A and B are shown apart, each in its own frame.
Chain A
């Protein structure tokens, strides 16, 4: 019978609170990037999801993602519906030195932030009502199955050997791909002029990025599920990759556009955090420097390409989370070492090229599934209630037209 360890429990609960803070942080990060007339609606999309998915996760999300498998490694059963049987005693499967409820709550915070990430792609023109329905369906039919495939010991991608320490594929790739599909589905904002709309409040975005960086220590180091050396490794690799990606992004944009962009520092840091997420507990600090350098370069290029492609992924969710998540998953297949984590596998550079192939399979499967299911959900939601606001509402701004409030008094 597993026994509760006080240190591990304290760390997992603390990490849960850290990850919770990331969603309000994301709200500020996104809120600063949009126009003044849409800042409240953008913040609301993240903040409402904090409430919405907290409830759906307790009711059915957790059991679908982590409940005992139904037999094919595709989805959990309903044994833990509304957390029946999930108690303060440890699980025999997950985080066995902490209360089962603590592990459930930790995973809840991941489930919350993932659909919130998507909201940035079709910001400034989606109806709140439609987004709420989309978020319920997406977290149920996309997030929960993918989490089960990758993180449940019975999941088929877990059995295949896909490594994802804290959600590079489950959280970032899935939401990044969904963001691209959503941007294509809803279409460009009306009256958009290039360069894409200027952020209305860069300090707000930098504050949001700072909160994300802070919370990410819980996201990644908390995923060690114990107060131990693996958590410390994940903590250090997380900070190092974020730092390297931030200074890389700034340097490239400085050379490219002539000025060291503050916004670039914030977005670069987030790209680094995304890329190290699947790798944090499998790679060394030195490898995290290379991952930060690589993702800062690749995501900057992806953001520039997105502008040329004229896809109106308003807040570059695909370029940062989709591309960054895929990059991190592949990098894990290159740099992973069992010297850091004996429960993982070696990667390409440590004599196991097969792990890189496995990671590519994971990226492909998750990307295709997320794209297909997101398109289907958007189509169905659009039948129930239009996803896009009317032209005059878009012109007025969603804050006033959809929420009856404004962020800044005249």
Chain B
């Protein structure tokens, strides 16, 4: 059981090393909010 627990953690450690490094694009929710704001007519 101890070995299995250590292996589980080792798998996570490898995953962290190979995982993609973030995202440069705006998050969808932020982009949507920005689009909605731009869509509102100035007169409104």
| Contact (A406, B27) CB under 8 Å given A55-B9, A82-B5, A82-B6 | yes
Residues of chain A with a CB closer than 8 A to B33's CB: 409-410
Residues of chain B with a CB closer than 8 A to A400's CB: 23, 26-27, 30
Residues of chain A with a CB closer than 8 A to B6's CB: 59, 82
Shortest distance between the CB of A85 and any CB in chain B (Å):
11
Compute how far the CA of A227 lies from the CA of B23 in the bound complex, rounded to whole angstroms.
50
What is the interface of chain B mostly: helix, strand, loop, or mixed?
A: helix
Shortest distance between the CB of B39 and any CB in chain A (Å):
13
Tell me the total A-B contact number using a CB cutoff of 8 A: 53
Q: For chain B, which range describes its interface: under 10, 10 to 19, 20 to 34, or 35 or more residues?
A: 20 to 34
In the complex, chain B residues 8-43 whose Cβ is within 8 Å of any chain A Cβ: 9, 13, 16-17, 19, 21-24, 26-27, 29-30, 33-34, 37
Compute how far the CA of A400 lies from the CA of B21 in the bound complex, rounded to whole angstroms.
12
Asked if B9 and A403 make an inter-chain contact with CB atoms under 8 angstroms apart, the answer reads: no
Asked if B24 and A59 make an inter-chain contact with CB atoms under 8 angstroms apart, the answer reads: no
Interface assignment of B2: CB less than 8 Å from any CB of chain A: yes
Interface assignment of A341: CB less than 8 Å from any CB of chain B: no
Shortest distance between the CB of B15 and any CB in chain A (Å):
10
Compute how far the CA of A82 lies from the CA of B37 in the bound complex, rounded to whole angstroms.
53
Name the residue of chain A whose CB is nearest to the CB of B13: A136
Compute how far the CA of A55 lies from the CA of B2 in the bound complex, rounded to whole angstroms.
13
Residues of chain B with a CB closer than 8 A to A81's CB: 2
Asked if B2 and A402 make an inter-chain contact with CB atoms under 8 angstroms apart, the answer reads: no
Interface assignment of B1: CB less than 8 Å from any CB of chain A: yes
Asked if A409 and B9 make an inter-chain contact with CB atoms under 8 angstroms apart, the answer reads: no
Residues of chain B with a CB closer than 8 A to A127's CB: 21-22
In the complex, chain A residues 383-409 whose Cβ is within 8 Å of any chain B Cβ: 384-385, 392-393, 396, 400-406, 409
Interface assignment of A14: CB less than 8 Å from any CB of chain B: no
Compute how far the CA of A133 lies from the CA of B29 in the bound complex, rounded to whole angstroms.
30
Asked if A59 and B23 make an inter-chain contact with CB atoms under 8 angstroms apart, the answer reads: no
Contact partner, B29, options A129, A396, A409, Cβ 8 Å: A409
Residues of chain B with a CB closer than 8 A to A401's CB: 22-24
Residues of chain B with a CB closer than 8 A to A89's CB: none
Name the residue of chain A whose CB is nearest to the CB of B21: A129
7 closest A-B pairs by CB: A402-B22, A82-B2, A404-B23, A404-B27, A82-B5, A401-B22, A406-B30
